[in-house]
Chain A
Amino acid sequence: MKRIISIIVGMSTLLLAMDSAFAQAGQPFIHDPSTIVKCDGKYYTFGTGSGGLISEDGWTWHSGGVRPGGGAAPDAIKLGDRYLVGYNTFGGGLGGGHANAIMVMWNKTLDPNSPDFEYSEAFSVAESLPDEDCDAIDLGLMLDPSTGRLFCTYGTYFGYIRQVELDPVTGRRLPGNEAIDVARNCEASTMMYHDGWYYLLGTHGSCCDGLNSSYNIVVGRSRNPNGPFMDNVGRSMLQGGGKPVITAEPRLMGPGHFGRYIEEEGVEKMSFHWEADLDRSGRSVLGIRPLLWKDGWPVAGKAFVPGTYEIQSIRSGYALQIDVEFIRVQGGMRRRGEDNQPDVPIEGQQLADVIGTWPEGVIGVKNDFFLARPQQKWQVIPVPEAGGYLGGPYYKIIIEGTNKALAANADAELEAVPEFTGAPEQLWRIDQLTDGTFRIMPKEVPGHTEPLALVSLGDNSPTLAPFNFHSDNSKWDFIMISPLK
C-alpha cells in the first residue's frame, strides 16, 4: 500500500513538474498583461480590470498588484526612478461607438505596501472619437534607447494602430505631436528597438473566447521609429502584414499582448497572455518565454521540456559528462564482405554495463566527445518546490538512471554529488539566450555571491565563471535524447 501511495505521489510530483515547465506557477491568471516591470526586487504585471500580479522570483505569481482606473489593457514602463502606468478607459466599441482615451499616471513604486506607493492623477495622452477609424485602447510604451524618445502606440481591429510621442519626463503628449497611423487591424501593439531596427508588435486573431481564441503575436520592422513597418514578405503592417512571433501550442491557446523584458545582454524574455491554458481550466494565464533574435527578427523560444539530454558545449561540440573511465563497447567497424547480412539494431552502452566501474562518492565533471554513453545522458527535471526565476523553474540535472546530481562546489567548480538533496548548489537555472543557445547557472555557489555560469574555459574543461554573451565558452545546447517518461 505504501508503495502504491509512493508511486501515486511520485507520479503526481512528476506531472506537476511537467506542467510547471509550460506555464507560470502560482495563480498567474490575467488578461491583457502589461509589460513585466521589476520594482524593488519583485516583478509586476497589470491586467484588464483593476488589479495585477506580483512575483517574488518571476516564476510563481499571485494577485496583489494595484492599479486604479479600471478600464482595460494596461502597460507599464520604468522611466528614471519612477513608473509610468497606462490603461484605456473602456473596453473597445462592441457594436457602438469607439470613444476611448489612453490614460497614464506616475508612481514612485509599484509595491502597494511601500509608503511611497501613490499614483498621480491619471491624464490622457491620446483619444479616439466615437466615430473615427481608431479605437484608443491597448497602449504600448517604448523608450527608444538610441534617442531617449518615448513612444506610445494604441488601437484595435477597429481601424488603425496609431503612434504618439510622449515627454519621458512628464509623460504628457509632446506639444504639437500628431498621431501617426502605423498599422491596421490588430490589437495590443507595442514597439521595441534592437540593433538599429524599430519593431512594431501586434496581435492578430480573435480574443476573449477561451479555447476558441485565435490570438497570435506578429511583428513588422522599420529603420524609422515612425515606420513603415514591414513584415518578412514585404507587406506593410498598414496592409495588415505581420511576421509571426508566437502562435498557439497544443495545450495553450491564443498568445497576445506582447511585452519585452531585457535581463541583460543576450538574455531577454517576452511576456504575454495565453487566452486559454488547457491545463488550468482554460483560463487566461500569464506566459513568459525566452525572446530570441533570428536573422534580425524576434521569435519566441520554446518552453524547456523536461527530459534526458546531451548538454553540448557550443565552444567545442563536446558533451558535458561525469569524469569516469571510458569503457569500450564490444564490436567495431563492420568488416568488408559482410554487406549481404541483414541490418539489425545494436543496443548502445547501457548504464548497467558501466555503473559498477563508477566511483561511489563525488565525481568530477568534464567535456568530451559525445558517444551517447551513460555518463553523458543528463536528466533535466524541474524542482517545483525550489521556486524559479523569470519564466522558469529551477531544475535538477542528474545522470539518467541515477541520482548523481550536477552541483557547484565552494571552489566554484563543477562536480557530481552522489545524491540530489535539493541544496541550492544543486539547482540550476536554464535560460535560452537570444541566439537560441542556453546559459546554465547554479542557484547558488557556496561562498560566492557573484552570479556564475557554466563555462567551458577549455574544450574539455567546464567550470563556473561569469557569463559572457559574446563568448561561446558561456553557451550550451540541450540536445534531447528522450522526453521525461
Chain B
Amino acid sequence: MKTSLRILLLASVILAVLCPPAQAQKKLKNTEVASALKGYFTLADNGVVSPDSEGFIRRWMLLDPISKPNSTNQVFTIKYTRDAILQEYFPGQFTMMPKDGDRVRVVMEYQPPVDVSTSYSTYDPNDAGKMIKANLYWHALDSDHFFVKLFRFAAGLDRDRYGAIFWSVTVINCDEDIEDVRLSVGANCGGMWWLNGEEVLLLAGDRHMGVDSFVSKHVTLKKGKNVLRGATINGIGMSEFCARFVDDNGQPVTNFTVSCN
C-alpha cells in the first residue's frame, strides 16, 4: 500500500512537472454568455434560420479563442497562416460537428490578460513558448450583425482577445443541389475555410474586413447538410469575419437555411 502510494505521489509530481498548468476557465451558463455578448450575439436555438437579406450567414458555432500571441499583424504570410491554423489543437478539429457547450481541451501559448488602461500590450516576449492547458467551449450563437465580431466574442467571455485563432462551424441546409456558387469571406485578418471538408479559401496578409474580399472558386452546395468551417487568426487589433455565398454576378445566394447541427 505504501509503495503504491509512493508511486502515485511520484507519478503526480512527474505529471505536474511535465504538463503545463491549466488555465482556470469555468463553463459559463447560457444566461451569462448571453449577457456577456449582448449587442453582438444572441444565443442560437436548435432550429434553422435563413441567411440575412444580403446572404450573410449569422448562425455559427464558435469556439473560445485559442491563444496564439503575436505582437504584430505583419507575420501572416501564407506559410505562417497555414501552419498556425493547420496545427492540431484538439481532436476532430477539422471534422467534428460540435454541440453548444461541448468542451475541448487544448494546449496553447500563454499570454497575460489585456490591460485596457494602457494602449500597449502587456505581452512579455520572455513568455514566448510558455504553454498552458485550457478548457475551451463551443457556443451556438446568432450574430446581431452581418459580421461576426470575434474580438467581442473573446472579450465578452474574458478570453484572449488579441493574438488568437477563432474556430467557427455552421451547417448550410439545402433542399436541392446549388451548383456554381462561391464562398465569399471578408476577415480581419488571416484565415482558412473549408466546405464539406475541402479547403476552399486561404486568407493571408494583414487586411481589413471587407464584404467579398475573398471569393472561392465554384463550389456546390449539395442537397441536405453542408458543413462550413472556418478559422480566423489575428494579432493585435480587431478580429471579425463575414461570410456568404454569391453567384457569378456577385449577387448573394439565399435559398438555403443555416443551423448549428
Binding site for B on A (CB under 8 A): 90-100, 130-131, 133, 157-159, 184-186, 204-206, 209, 212, 214, 233, 235, 239-242
- The verdict on B207 contacting chain A, using a C-beta distance below 8 Å, is yes
Return the 8 tightest CB-CB contacts between A and B, nearest first: A95-B121, A240-B210, A97-B116, A185-B208, A130-B116, A239-B211, A95-B236, A206-B206
Chain B: minimal CB distance from A97 (Å): 3
Q: Is B211 a contact of A241 with CB atoms below 8 Å?
A: yes
User: Which residues of B have CB within 8 Å of A157?
Assistant: 188, 208, 237-238
Q: Is A96 a contact of B119 with CB atoms below 8 Å?
A: yes
Contact residues of B between 82 and 118, Cβ < 8 Å to A: 114-118
Q: Is B119 a contact of A98 with CB atoms below 8 Å?
A: yes
Q: List 24 A-B contacts (CB under 8 A).
A: A93-B236, A94-B71, A94-B119, A94-B236, A95-B122, A95-B163, A96-B119, A96-B120, A98-B116, A98-B119, A131-B116, A133-B149, A157-B237, A158-B237, A184-B209, A185-B210, A186-B208, A204-B210, A205-B206, A206-B74, A233-B250, A239-B211, A239-B242, A241-B210
- The number of residues on chain B lying at the interface, defined by a beta carbon within 8 Å of a beta carbon of chain A, is 36
User: Complex formed: what's the CA distance from A240 to B207 in Å?
Assistant: 10
A239 with B210, Cβ < 8 A, contacts A95-B162, A159-B238, A185-B238 known: yes
Q: Is B119 a contact of A92 with CB atoms below 8 Å?
A: yes
- The verdict on B144 contacting chain A, using a C-beta distance below 8 Å, is no
User: Complex formed: what's the CA distance from A214 to B76 in Å?
Assistant: 13
User: Which residues of B have CB within 8 Å of A94?
Assistant: 71, 119-121, 236
Contact residues of B between 198 and 257, Cβ < 8 Å to A: 205-213, 235-238, 242, 250
B121, B206, B235, B238 — most chain A CB neighbours (10 Å): B238
Q: Is B122 a contact of A96 with CB atoms below 8 Å?
A: yes
Q: Is B209 a contact of A93 with CB atoms below 8 Å?
A: no
Q: Which of A96, A212, A233 contacts B118 (CB 8 A)?
A: A96
Chain A: minimal CB distance from B81 (Å): 15
- The verdict on B146 contacting chain A, using a C-beta distance below 8 Å, is yes
- The verdict on B196 contacting chain A, using a C-beta distance below 8 Å, is no
Q: Which of B71, B155, B213, B250 contacts A131 (CB 8 A)?
A: B155
B69 (CB) vs chain A CBs: closest residue: A95
User: Which residues of B have CB within 8 Å of A242?
Assistant: 210
Q: A131-B155, A204-B210, A205-B206 are in contact. List 18 more A-B contacts (CB 8 A).
A: A93-B119, A95-B121, A95-B163, A95-B235, A96-B117, A96-B118, A96-B121, A96-B122, A97-B114, A97-B119, A99-B119, A130-B117, A131-B116, A158-B237, A186-B208, A239-B210, A240-B208, A240-B213
Q: Is B71 a contact of A95 with CB atoms below 8 Å?
A: yes
- The verdict on B65 contacting chain A, using a C-beta distance below 8 Å, is no
A214 with B119, Cβ < 8 A, contacts A96-B114, A185-B238, A209-B74 known: no
- The verdict on B51 contacting chain A, using a C-beta distance below 8 Å, is no
- The verdict on B190 contacting chain A, using a C-beta distance below 8 Å, is no
- The verdict on B73 contacting chain A, using a C-beta distance below 8 Å, is yes
Q: Is B206 a contact of A97 with CB atoms below 8 Å?
A: no
A97 with B208, Cβ < 8 A, contacts A131-B155, A206-B73 known: no
User: Which residues of B have CB within 8 Å of A235?
Assistant: 210-212
Chain B: minimal CB distance from A71 (Å): 11
Q: Is B119 a contact of A204 with CB atoms below 8 Å?
A: no
Write out, one digit per residue, whether chain B residues 50-82 have a CB within 8 A of any chain A CB (1) or not (0): 000000000000000000000101100000000
